[in-house]
Amino acid sequence: MSETATPAASLPDDPGTLIDPDGDRPAARSGRSRSLLRFIVKKLLTTIGLLFGVTVLTFLLVQAVPGDPSTTNLTEAAQQDPEIVAAYKAKWGLDKPLPVQYLTYLNNLLHGDLGTSQSTGNSILSDLAKYVPATIELAIPAMVLSLLISIGLGMWAAVRKDRAADHTIRAGALIGLSTPSFWLAIVALYIFFYVLGIAPNGGRLSTKFRPPQDITGMYTVDALLTGRPLVFWDALWHLALPVLVLTSLTVSILIRFVRSAMLEVLDQDYVKAAYAKGLPRFTVLRRHVLRAGLVQVVTVGGLAFASLLSGTVLIEQIYSWPGIGQYAYLAALNLDLPAIMGVGLFVALVYILVNLLIDVLYGIIDPRIRVS
Amino acid sequence: MNELASQRPTKPVAGEVILPARRWFGIRPGRPRPERPARPPARALTAVAIVILVGWLIVAIAAPLIAPYDPLAQSGPYYSAPSAAHWFGTDQLGRDILSRIVYGSRLSLPLAVAIVALALAIGGTLGLLAGYIGRWVDESLMRLTDLVFAFPPIILAMVVSAAFGPSARNAVLALVLVSWPTYARVVRSAVLSIRGSDFLHASRLLGVGPWQALRRDVLPNSVGPSVVLASLELGNAVLMLASLSFLGLGPRPPAPEWGAMIAAGATDLSKWWVSIIPGIAILTAVLAFNLLGDAVRDWLDPRSRRRG
Amino acid sequence: MSTGEPLLTIDGLSVSLPGPAGPVPVIKQLDLRVDAGEIVGIAGESGSGKSLTALTLLNLLPPGAVVGGSIRFDGQDLLSLDRRGWQGVRGSGISMVFQDSTAALHPMLTIGRQLTEHIRAGLGLGRAAARTRATELLDQMRIPHPDRALRAYPHQFSGGMRQRVAIAIALACRPRLLIADEPTTALDVTVQAGILALLEEQRRESGLAVLFITHDLGVLSALTRRAYIFYAGRVMESGGTADLLTAPAHPYTAALLGARPHGLSAQRTLRAIPGAPVLPDQLLPGCPFEPRCTFAEDSCRSGPPPQVPTTSGRTLACVVAPDLTGEPVVNR
Amino acid sequence: MPGSARRGTHTTLALLAAATLALAGCGSNAEDNAAAAGTAATADGSAAATLTVDASLVVKTLDPGQVYEPTGNVLVHALYDTLVTFDGADISKPVPSLAKSYTAADDGKKFTFELNPDAVFADGTPVTSADVVFSLNRLKNLKGSASPIVKDLSVDAPDPHTVVVTSSTLNPNVPTILAEPYAGILNSKLAKENGGTDAADASSTDKLTNYLNTNAAGSGPYLIESFDAASRIVLKANPKYWGTAPKFGRVVFQNMDVQNQKLTMSKLPQNELALDLAGDALTGLPKELQQSGSADSYYQLRLQNDPAVSKVTSNADWVAALQAAIDYQGVAALFGPAGKPAAGIVPTAYAGSLPESEAQKQDLPKAKELLAKSGVGDQSVKLLYPAITFGGVDLGTIAAKVQSDAEKAGIKIELDPAPIASFLDQRKGGKVPFSFSPQLLDYPVAASIVADLMPGGHTAEAAGWTAERADKETVAAAEKVLSARDSADQVEALHDWQRLMINNSPYITLVYNSTTVVAGPNLKDAVFSAAGWTVDVADIGTN
Amino acid sequence: MTALTIEQVEVSYRARGRGSVRAVAGVDLQVAAGEVVGLVGESGCGKSSLARVAAGLTAPTAGRILIGDTPVAPVGWRRRPAALTRLQMIFQDPGGSLNPRRTIESQLLDGIPADLTGSARTERLVQLLERVGMSDDARRHYPHQFSGGQRQRLAIARALATEPEIIIADEPVTALDASAQAQVVSLLLSLVRELDVGLLFISHDLALVHEIADRTAVMYLGKIVEQAPTRALMAAPRHPYTRALVEAIPQISAHPNLPNVLRGEVPDPAQVPSGCRFRPRCAHARAICLTEPQLREVPGGLVSCHRVEEIAAENGVTELSVAKRSVTESSVTGEIAMEASE
């Protein structure tokens, strides 16, 4: 409220403005950016804490395992030789007391060094750089397809509530939800590769092709970037089956959320109001219902995406897909501590980033939570 | 001064009693409304779920009567295809698959229930305390759940199983470890909403102590969502257990665990019966659990009930 | 009354909603009329079918609802319309304002978008013209800084301003009838006064007809000239508002008035209506108000009382009222 | 604003889709086109053709000094030549490679190798004795998995073309040891340039391994094109190879699990072979496929001989009862066509194996009788085994088979699977009463296992089998094997030793299993070798 | 005797992105035994914050609450002392103020003092139900089996269980239908009279308060602007805001008029106008209104307005005339309450 010099004269004309009309917007904007900054800083602090927690948790977990990496990484004969075992432990720092091992790890971590995998012999970072793009290449198409299908079918089911279409879609989703993923993957491989012969038998690329030059690490993208159409199609062909299996599982999860979210929205007054305005049904569904329903789908979708990105151990295993899930599986079996820690950190990071993405999407979709 | 007892006769005489409210403004004494039955939730599907589950229950209880063979004994040649002697064929050790599936239900179903019950008990208790006490207890619990969430469940379960060796107990522990945070969060948010509720305020104003209020007002009102979650999670527990078993981290052989049975046939699908049939067993059990979960949700979820 | 055909004529309307044990009749034998440029009121307790009547007029009933009778609006038989036909009526013929403006405005779309999206189709305007029309409307609704308001989201407005925006949206395509479903119930009295004034102004200046639904008899009295008193999906009494409220003939109308705080009149004890409003699926064969009525006789239980016109121009659905109040019934 | 952003997204998506199609449709790549048409074009077996090897890639490194995993050995053998080698499936006698000849001294300790002057490394530099000394010393000092085998050897280079290897103990098997992949000869100059060292502290100072994962520094028939242990490893022919050029210009090792390998091979692919088909996966394969294998592993139960650890497993009668209870033929059948019931200990791939006619047999009445005699009753024992699949069979299945066989004789066994790390760790401690694991030989000579299994050896120690508890005659038989200088003598001694071991040792050998190479119908010389490298890819040609 | 004393109470809270909001900005109020005090105000004026603080659900930022002579401590990690249970509250939402999963009996027994034991407790329970016009068998049922009005009566019965000296009722009938409203209001009134309980009746509905309160206080933006015996306040409102409030009530009459319109809107409590809080909306505002007026005694009540005497003189009348003001004359203004930080 601006103070006026001659209140007696100005008061009767005061239109009752409570906030200075011209001063308002810039103030609001700077306030918004300030609170956004605060939000991001807070998120970053949480992130660091969480990553720290992940390292502690992994470290303790792996220490709880009886036996040490030397038993899986040396032949039985070599293990009998104390000299060799000592040399191995010295090489990997396993001869030092636990807290020292942990502090060494943390110190290296702060310098951007995630350590060296005991089972692949590579630095964890370069391992991740190799395995993560493969998983991303699976996760993104699976997620996009899942969203498209589940939003489409979920909305259809909601609009046709309690009719045949609704029942069919729900039953399909329920069956999908009840199917063991690894079983579905095996059956799909059997049918599409073994019986029908229309799908490849796993892997990322036919052996006849050289993998494309490593730019993004995703074969399809790299093949396009380097102008190798045949490689692109081949990589795409290899993607098809795992992506479809992942999609069918994710769709089953998402569709129920989409349906109930849309049902809730369809029940809202503003949907009635939109019809009352004379808007055609399609416009109402697309513009009013979809948008509001998406808010609730974003969280579930985000978490589904996070879990796709953190690697689906079983699917990658069955389709010989060298992704982060396979890497994690091998690391866990070999008790490869640095690798498990690396995967843990990566997954935590994905989780945090996806949560951040969810927050940002919320802000974009719903103006009410843009500031807070 | 305002002693109610001194103003009214302690025992009203029948016939001449005029209730105070009626005297004041001529209303009839309020009586509770007749109870309206809860909306029947998709009866047909629930019936299917119950039939399947009761079926599995009977199979599990009467396993020795139903199974034609000892599930652990080599009762036929290795990998014999389904036949009159072995309806579902035999596995890699010549064990009867039908018998193993029948006995497998004695493993998968109780273990799934154990996983869910333990996770519910642990997560529920922590969530209850976190939501009710608030402050640092809440804060630290939420960070802990974040930590578990930030870890891919199957990897965490694998490390735990790898650490302590494959066994039914360790698989259950591993899966409880990854699933309790969900319950903690659900219970916590339910408690938070009750913490701001008028009836809790009213209780406290009447002089009810904090722990008494926790037991009487908070607890009964916050179990609903977690029971819904638990019933929906039962199916998931069966699946997770099968996944661990598939990776060789479940109950020890020769136990007839369904996931392990799928794994046994996974290497050679030309002997389809070895893995396809246990897969169908899992599918039906999980499907029934999921349907039941839906029914429980429809029945307990305040939102769907309010509509009814 | 008016000559020629009324703007809206409802004849023998009945509506049933699906229930767990078969369809539940929620509106029965409803006759109602709104003339052009007239504000007509509907009053009653919650659950009396007021809002359902409004939704029926826009074909917004939940799926599975069964509608009987006839609704004529502006020479059209509404119940025979297909989906496209309804689209033509909604917004440009009949539009509606809801009770809770927070729920009735889409929280994620700007006011401008919600205000213009139907103007372009409804009035056949271009983008710029639609925006001009939107600005005009907001200005008419006395919303300060209409330009800025167009870019704002609903949550940035106060409750009263939101309801004005909702009215602007409803009036954007120049409908002939506005259904206002308790538009001021959630608002403070001082804010309510502004909304009432706005509606009256629209009626006077653009000949808008308003079907105003409320449970507040004071608001009914202040705004409307003619009113219908609803109970359990039936009209208990209808006629000139002032008549109805100063000399109620139906026991229900009288009971409603008795239960109401009188504001400036002398302090006295409120007279509650015994019992609770009857639920549509628990209806007995007789007069729906009979269980709560202090004047109920045996004849009230035999069947639903017929709607009878009285000499003072009212319609009354009560068998005992004429004897009690001496309201003469017009012979048929 | 959000609305316009959304419209923007639509457009972007559409553009992206269009771009995708354009790129995919218009671009072209000569190599890819050739590859796409490849199967037909290369059916004639031209030198540029690609050989595909399907395997569950188990390889951490391509450094000969560190390698010990199965796939690693196949690869390293193709990248590095050794002083001597074995030809095809014949492992009876080492044949010349980098060394054109060798002589063994009469004391059985000193071996002199004469290098072939034609041998050159891939960069053209000749192979000298200095390179051999460097490579073998580095192997020893790296203290990797292979170093125990070469610990007792010392290497000298009297002149550039002569290498003298001396063993500190009597060891007629030195040439065989030096034929193994880990004894591959590195280009010492190149190695030193890239951080390699053969110093005594090499285990901590040598930095060569990472370099060797992407660059071969040897004189073998192949070079590394690309190395990605997770998906594929590609070898290309060494253009300067000094010996017979390999038939396939390119070899792609692709990571594939067993089930996939079976499905793939069932389609009868050209120029493709699979390395991991084993056990039951070998049944039902198309007849056109060539299978080559030889039993090179043995599966053994080990029973704790120390009564302080277990009263049951140290009871000789109980052990004998168990031995009689097992259905050896049934266990062997679990391994499909590749499994053979054990006769002694040494698998049939190696000289000294007992004839198949002596295979063990189930004898339940005897088992029951022995069990009664033992007085153990139905006391149960935990059988520890690693929860892995090995040789195509889940060890749990075999353990379950043993359990159910024992059950038939009234012997109670409880299964106790453990992760491999914890299995090895537990068994090392000598406190495990009863364990089960598959075993491979360190190098392809049967005598290599004798010392380890006898009192004083690590395995015997872990089983609590001390010299006091051991049967004198059996110990003497073992000593006879180890002191034999002539291979015929050694074979004879091995037979005697094994026959004694059956009744006088805490080990029950169940079955022999073979690694099998399954090759497409058009391939030639894709034969299994028990020498340690499974298959020599450089030998493979087409019909 | 004063049952409830509210002294200089302030309530501030931190609102997201809006800094500190002073919802109650210094309020003094007394309620005597057997007296009904109405507290009226429009939404956002701070009346509910005041109610919660007065009941001891939250602590005031400043000031204190006394019940008799006992200071009220907010509910915390202790059982509430018996002395403070003499203060009870009735909430707005009858559905939310009863635990849906406990029987009526169990909830009512919570409040019955522990010194009553055995059958005396049950007798007391039956009396309480009878007192609020509920039948005896209600005790075995759950809240959802009752209508809104019945539930509110049960909530009243529960509040009576501790034999309270003071009841704070926060909008107790807003959620009810007209007929149920009348029941609950009448019940409350009769209880106050019969049991000599003090009642602080908080509502946004001036007409309703008029029916029940002996004395009424009007709140605007966290402060009481006028306090007077109810009849006097309604008949002759002195503060311009009270007058606007009274004039905005739609009346039933044979010659109906539209209610009067007050210009502007209630400001954001985070951005309270300087000086008199009502100044921007007040037709009588002058320069003096830039200083904050104090609640002062005028004949027949307390008013917080500098110009109350002058306005009375200007108008020449103190009695309220329900004058119809033309709709078109009234200036309807408002403001988009943009979310601004600070």
Mean pLDDT confidence for A9-20: 30
Q: Which residue has the higher pLDDT, C269 or B302?
A: C269
Mean pLDDT confidence for C172-193: 89
pLDDT grade for A351, boundaries at 50, 70 and 90: confident
CA contacts within 13 A on the Cβ side of C169: 34
pLDDT of residue B19: 31
* Chain B residue numbers touching E133 (CB-CB < 8 A): 19-22, 24, 27, 29-30
Nearest by CB: E80 against B35, B207, B221: B207
* Chain C residue numbers touching A270 (CB-CB < 8 A): 103-107
Kindly state whether residue D281 falls inside one of the protein's structural domains.
no
Q: For chain B, which chains pass the contact test of at least 3 CB pairs under 8 Å?
A: A, C, D, E
Burial, E326: exposed, middle or buried (Cβ in 10 Å; 0-12, 13-18, 19+)? exposed
Nearest by CB: C107 against A278, A287, A366: A366
pLDDT of residue D84: 94
Give the residue from chain B lying closest to C20, CA to CA. B39
Q: Is the pLDDT of residue E242 over 50?
A: yes
pLDDT of residue A33: 54
* Chain D residue numbers touching A73 (CB-CB < 8 A): 60
Q: Is the pLDDT of residue B308 over 60?
A: no
Mean pLDDT confidence for C295-315: 83
Q: Is the pLDDT of residue D179 over 60?
A: yes
Mean pLDDT confidence for B153-161: 75
Token pair belonging to D274: 């699979």
Q: Which residue has the higher pLDDT, A320 or D370?
A: D370
pLDDT of residue C41: 94
ipTM rounded to 2 decimals: 0.80
Is it the case that chain E and chain C have 3 or more CB pairs lying under 8 Å apart? yes
* Chain B residue numbers touching E161 (CB-CB < 8 A): 206
pLDDT tens-digit map of D134-169:
999 999 998 888 888 888 899 999 999 999 999 988
pLDDT of residue D532: 86
Q: Please answer yes or no on whether B27 and C275 come within 8 Å at the CB atom.
A: yes
Q: Please answer yes or no on whether B253 and D330 come within 8 Å at the CB atom.
A: no
Kindly state whether residues D63 and D124 are assigned to the same domain: yes
pLDDT of residue B42: 58
Q: Please answer yes or no on whether A65 and B272 come within 8 Å at the CB atom.
A: no
How many C-beta atoms surround the C-beta of residue A181 within 10 A?
A: 21
Q: Which of E58, E91, E130 to mutate to test the interface with B (most CBs of B within 10 A)?
A: E130
Q: Any idea what the CATH number is for the domain that residue D391 is in? A: 3.10.105.10
Q: Which of D50, D53, D252, D259 to mutate to test the interface with A (most CBs of A within 10 A)?
A: D259
Q: Is the pLDDT of residue D8 over 60?
A: no
Topology annotation, domain E2-218: Rossmann fold (3.40.50)
Q: d(Cα D220, Cα D240) in Å, to the nearest integer?
A: 10
Nearest by CB: C221 against E43, E189, E250: E250
* Chain B residue numbers touching C272 (CB-CB < 8 A): 25-27
* Distance linking the first and last C-alpha atoms of chain A: 24
pLDDT grade for A302, boundaries at 50, 70 and 90: confident
- For CATH 3.40.50.300, list the domain ranges present in chain E: 2-218
Q: Is B6 on the interface with E (CB under 8 A)?
A: no
* Chain B residue numbers touching A356 (CB-CB < 8 A): none
Mean pLDDT confidence for A75-92: 78
Q: d(Cα C2, Cα E225) in Å, to the nearest integer?
A: 49
Rounded to a whole number of angstroms, the distance from the CA of B109 to the nearest CA of chain D is: 22
Q: Any idea what the CATH number is for the domain that residue D40 is in? A: 3.40.190.10
How many C-beta atoms surround the C-beta of residue D290 within 10 A?
A: 17
Nearest by CB: C58 against A276, A280, A283: A276
pLDDT grade for A264, boundaries at 50, 70 and 90: confident
Give the residue from chain A lying closest to B160, CA to CA. A61
* Chain A residue numbers touching E335 (CB-CB < 8 A): 16-19
Rounded to a whole number of angstroms, the distance from the CA of D331 to the nearest CA of chain B is: 9
| DSSP 8-class letter at D537 | G
pLDDT grade for C330, boundaries at 50, 70 and 90: low
pLDDT of residue D15: 42
Nearest by CB: A368 against C118, C148, C155: C155
Q: Which of A74, A76, A144, A214 to mutate to test the interface with D (most CBs of D within 10 A)?
A: A76
Q: Is E82 on the interface with B (CB under 8 A)?
A: yes
Q: Is the pLDDT of residue D298 over 80?
A: yes
Domain ranges of chain B: 41-107+261-308, 112-250
Nearest by CB: B155 against A64, A189, A332: A332
pLDDT grade for A369, boundaries at 50, 70 and 90: low
Kindly state whether residues D78 and D198 are assigned to the same domain: yes
Q: Is the pLDDT of residue D1 over 70?
A: no
Average pLDDT, chain B: 79
**What percent of chain D is modeled with pLDDT above 70?**
91
pLDDT grade for B75, boundaries at 50, 70 and 90: confident
Q: Say how many domains are in chain D.
A: 2
Taking the CA atoms of chain E, what radius of gyration do you get in angstroms?
21
Mean pLDDT confidence for C275-284: 72
pLDDT tens-digit map of A315-325:
988 888 889 98
Q: Which of B69, B80, B91, B93 to mutate to test the interface with D (most CBs of D within 10 A)?
A: B93
pLDDT tens-digit map of E117-153:
888 888 899 989 988 888 888 888 888 888 888 899 9
Of C311-315, D75-79, E79-83, give the lowest mean pLDDT range: C311-315
Sign of the CA dihedral running D368, D371, D373, D375: negative
Q: Please answer yes or no on whether D31 and A210 come within 8 Å at the CB atom.
A: yes
pLDDT tens-digit map of D424-470:
888 877 889 999 999 888 888 888 888 888 988 888 888 889 888 88
Q: Please answer yes or no on whether E281 and A16 come within 8 Å at the CB atom.
A: yes
Closest to B184 in 3D by CA, of B228, B150, B138, B153: B138
Token pair belonging to A62: 């792996």
Rounded to a whole number of angstroms, the distance from the CA of D472 to the nearest CA of chain B is: 39
| Max CA separation in chain B (angstroms) | 92
Q: Is the pLDDT of residue D40 over 50?
A: no
Give the residue from chain A lying closest to E282, CA to CA. A12
Q: Please answer yes or no on whether B8 and E135 come within 8 Å at the CB atom.
A: no
* Chain C residue numbers touching B28 (CB-CB < 8 A): 274-275
Token pair belonging to D188: 């010492």
* Chain B residue numbers touching C275 (CB-CB < 8 A): 27-28
pLDDT grade for B151, boundaries at 50, 70 and 90: confident
pLDDT grade for A36, boundaries at 50, 70 and 90: low
Q: d(Cα C43, Cα C220) in Å, to the nearest integer?
A: 7
Mean pLDDT confidence for D181-199: 92
Q: Is the pLDDT of residue B66 over 80?
A: yes
Query: What architecture is domain B112-250?
Result: Orthogonal Bundle (1.10)
Q: Is the pLDDT of residue D306 over 60?
A: yes
Q: Is E341 on the interface with A (CB under 8 A)?
A: yes
- Please give the residue range of the domain that contains residue D506: 294-515
Q: Is the pLDDT of residue E323 over 50?
A: no
Q: Please answer yes or no on whether E79 and B209 come within 8 Å at the CB atom.
A: yes
Q: Is the pLDDT of residue A4 over 70?
A: no
Rounded to a whole number of angstroms, the distance from the CA of E338 to the nearest CA of chain C is: 5
Q: Please answer yes or no on whether D23 and A232 come within 8 Å at the CB atom.
A: yes
Q: How far is CA C95 from CA C92, C98, C241, D270, in A?
A: 7, 10, 23, 74
Q: Is the pLDDT of residue D114 over 50?
A: yes
Q: Please answer yes or no on whether A18 and E17 come within 8 Å at the CB atom.
A: no
pLDDT tens-digit map of C71-122:
999 888 888 888 888 888 888 899 999 988 888 899 888 999 898 888 887 7
Closest to D293 in 3D by CA, of D55, D71, D512: D512
Kindly state whether residues D300 and D423 are assigned to the same domain: yes
Q: Is the pLDDT of residue B39 over 60?
A: no
Mean pLDDT confidence for D279-308: 89
Q: Which of C148, C264, C269, C273 to mutate to test the interface with E (most CBs of E within 10 A)?
A: C264
pLDDT of residue D36: 64
* Chain A residue numbers touching E264 (CB-CB < 8 A): 16, 18
Q: Which residue has the higher pLDDT, C280 or D145?
A: D145
Nearest by CB: D256 against A74, A75, A202: A202
Is it the case that chain E and chain D have 3 or more CB pairs lying under 8 Å apart? no
D241-265 b/e (C-beta count within 10 Å ≥ 16 → b): bbbeebbbbbbbbbbbbbbbbbbbb
* Chain E residue numbers touching B200 (CB-CB < 8 A): 99
Q: Which of A162, A268, A277 to mutate to test the interface with C (most CBs of C within 10 A)?
A: A277
Mean pLDDT confidence for E33-54: 90
Do the beta carbons of residue E270 and residue E222 sit within 8 Å? no
SS (H, E, C) chain A: CCCCCCHHHHHHHCCCCCCCHHHHHHHHHHHHHHHHHHHHHHHHHHHHHHHHHHHHHHHHHHHCCCCCHHHHHCCHHHHCCHHHHHHHHHHHCCCCCHHHHHHHHHHHHHCCCCCECCCCCCEHHHHHHHHHHHHHHHHHHHHHHHHHHHHHHHHHHHHCCCCHHHHHHHHHHHHHHHCCHHHHHHHHHHHHHHHCCCCCCCCCCCCCCCCCCCCCCCHHHHHHHCCCHHHHHHHHHHHHHHHHHHHHHHHHHHHHHHHHHHHHHHCCHHHHHHHHCCCCHHHHHHHHHHHHHHHHHHHHHHHHHHHHHCCCHHHHHHCCCCCHHHHHHHHHHHCCHHHHHHHHHHHHHHHHHHHHHHHHHHHHHCHHHCCC
User: Backbone phi, then psi, for D512, in 5-degree steps?
Assistant: -110, 145
Of A227-236, A291-300, E212-221, give the lowest mean pLDDT range: A291-300
Rounded (10°) angle between helices B219-246 and A164-178: 60
Q: Is the pLDDT of residue D397 over 50?
A: yes
Q: Is the pLDDT of residue D319 over 70?
A: yes
pLDDT of residue A14: 30
Rounded to a whole number of angstroms, the distance from the CA of E175 to the nearest CA of chain A is: 20
